[in-house]
């Protein structure tokens, strides 16, 4: 690249060390020769020097204040950069992206979630109001993104955005995890990584120690304090075998990576209740469990069951059927060699094609096309 092209990534909601935004996209672009600035909320977790320029936004405790003032601050901070490419990651920033777009730059909207479906599923308002908000959002999105590029984090999003380019959230190849030898004999600890919410199976996971008296459950990810209390109630007398690491605070990627290494895990878990959004998704945590050589125990949604069958990397069960769950856990405990084979199958799939290096090529190809237009 003859002259360094300036790239600005913007998020008012994500942590500055978000794996997709910072560890994958920003670092890949920096290493490819772009001058990268990351605009994101200030955080005490950012202790080390980042590989890109970090422009912290003031953090607001009030969600609505943050939405208003954070968005305005992000716009003026981004405009000041005069970037060749602006790449934003939150639906709240649609207007910002639209305002930043001009004839001399390019704007990318990175769609992390199926927001339209997500709005309908939220419980903030009654169903008719949620449907109305979803329709209004869709109209605003369509208007604002008319002259933007779209990046999609999930394959199924192309049903709604056929013009979008899939840059999937596959994992970075972690040498330490890939080389870690797993032994499943006498393993009895289950691992969950990622944000802890009800729609991500918080209650189902809390019930696991009561379903099998020999196992313990360890969750690494941000969990609201009131939900943690609800999970303890759901766990009942078995609550002393449920451990939540991340109550009311963000858990950085480095800590989660360490969690994968530190114990003799029986399986990685993802027992989500059925929702339209998650039933279609390939969870990022699937790939992380696979990288670590762990078999997966997940909900028996058709898409997920098909994934387990294709890669022979785990078991799918009804997330609300205690007997079925107990049977799957017993199978893994009683058949350590088969548990190990599932873990190795998953790890092999990640090494061969389900990894960030493959997706990075698509990201860089898009950027090269844009800056040379």
Q: Can you name the residues that pair with 193 across neighbouring β-strands? A: 220
Confidence at residue 2, expressed as pLDDT on a 0 to 100 scale:
58
**Which helix (DSSP H) or strand (DSSP E) does residue 29 occupy?**
helix 27-31
Confidence at residue 177, expressed as pLDDT on a 0 to 100 scale:
85
Instruction: Indicate the pairing of strand 242-247 with strand 265-270.
Output: unpaired
Q: What's the pLDDT tens digit per position in 63-83?
A: 767 677 889 999 999 999 999
149-152, strands of its sheet edge to edge: 53-57, 35-41, 6-10, 85-88, 106-111, 149-152, 165-166
- CA Rg value for the chain: 21
Contact 40, 56 (CB under 8 A): yes
Exposure class string for 41-69: b at 16+ Cβ within 10 A, else e: beeeebeeeeebebbebeebeeeeebeee
Confidence at residue 142, expressed as pLDDT on a 0 to 100 scale:
94
Per-residue DSSP letters for 249-307? S---HHHHHHHHHHS-EEEEEE-PPP-HHHHH---HHHHHHHHTT--EEEE--HHHHHH
Three-state secondary structure call for residue 341: helix
CA quadruple 21, 314, 155, 256: dihedral, nearest 10? -10
Between the CA of residue 94 and those of 46, 189, 205, what are the distances in Å? 26, 42, 35
Q: How much helix, strand and coil, in percent to the nearest 5, is found in the chain?
A: 50, 20, 35
Listed as ranges, residues in the chain with pLDDT below 50 are: 1
Q: What's the pLDDT tens digit per position in 265-318?
A: 999 999 999 998 899 899 999 999 999 999 999 999 999 999 999 999 999 999
Domain architecture of the chain: domains with CATH? 6-169+355-371 (3.40.50.2000), 175-352 (3.40.50.2000)
pTM higher than the cut 0.85: yes
Residue bearing tokens 């909207």 = 109
Contact 66, 85 (CB under 8 A): no
Q: How far apart are CA 359 and CA 267, in angstroms?
A: 26
């Amino acid at each position: 690249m003859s002259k360094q092209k300036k790239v600005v990534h913007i998020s008012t909601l994500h942590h500055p060390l978000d794996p997709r935004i910072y560890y994958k996209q920003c670092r890949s672009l920096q290493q490819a020769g772009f001058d990268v600035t990351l605009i994101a909320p200030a955080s005490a977790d950012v202790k080390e020097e980042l590989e890109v320029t970090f422009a912290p936004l003031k953090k607001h405790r009030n969600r609505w204040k943050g939405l208003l003032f954070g968005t305005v601050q992000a716009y003026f901070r981004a405009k000041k950069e005069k970037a060749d490419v602006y790449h934003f990651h939150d639906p709240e920033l649609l207007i910002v992206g639209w305002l930043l777009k001009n004839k001399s730059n390019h704007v990318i909207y990175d769609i992390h979630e199926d927001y339209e479906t997500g709005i309908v599923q939220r419980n903030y308002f009654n169903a008719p109001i949620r449907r109305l908000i979803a329709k209004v959002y869709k109209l605003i999105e369509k208007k604002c993104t008319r002259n933007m590029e779209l990046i999609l984090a999930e394959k199924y999003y192309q049903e709604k955005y056929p013009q979008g380019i899939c840059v999937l959230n596959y994992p970075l190849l972690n040498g330490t995890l890939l080389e870690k030898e797993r032994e499943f004999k006498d393993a009895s600890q289950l691992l969950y990584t990622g944000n802890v919410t009800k729609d991500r199976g918080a209650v189902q996971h809390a019930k696991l120690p009561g379903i099998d008296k020999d196992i313990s459950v360890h969750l690494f990810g941000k969990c609201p304090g009131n939900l943690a209390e609800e999970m303890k109630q759901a766990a009942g007398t078995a609550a002393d075998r449920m451990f939540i690491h991340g109550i009311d605070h963000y858990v950085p990627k480095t800590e989660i990576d360490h969690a994968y290494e530190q114990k003799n895990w029986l399986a990685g878990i993802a027992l989500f209740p059925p929702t339209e959004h998650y039933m279609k998704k390939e969870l990022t945590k699937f790939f992380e469990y696979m990288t670590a050589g762990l078999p997966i125990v997940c909900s028996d949604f058709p898409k997920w069951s098909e994934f387990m069958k294709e890669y022979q990397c785990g078991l799918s069960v009804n997330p609300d059927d205690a007997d079925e769950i107990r049977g799957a856990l017993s199978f893994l405990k009683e058949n350590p060699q088969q548990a190990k084979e599932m873990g190795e199958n998953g790890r092999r799939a990640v090494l061969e094609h389900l990894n960030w290096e493959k997706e990075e090529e698509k990201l860089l190809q898009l950027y090269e096309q844009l800056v040379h237009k």
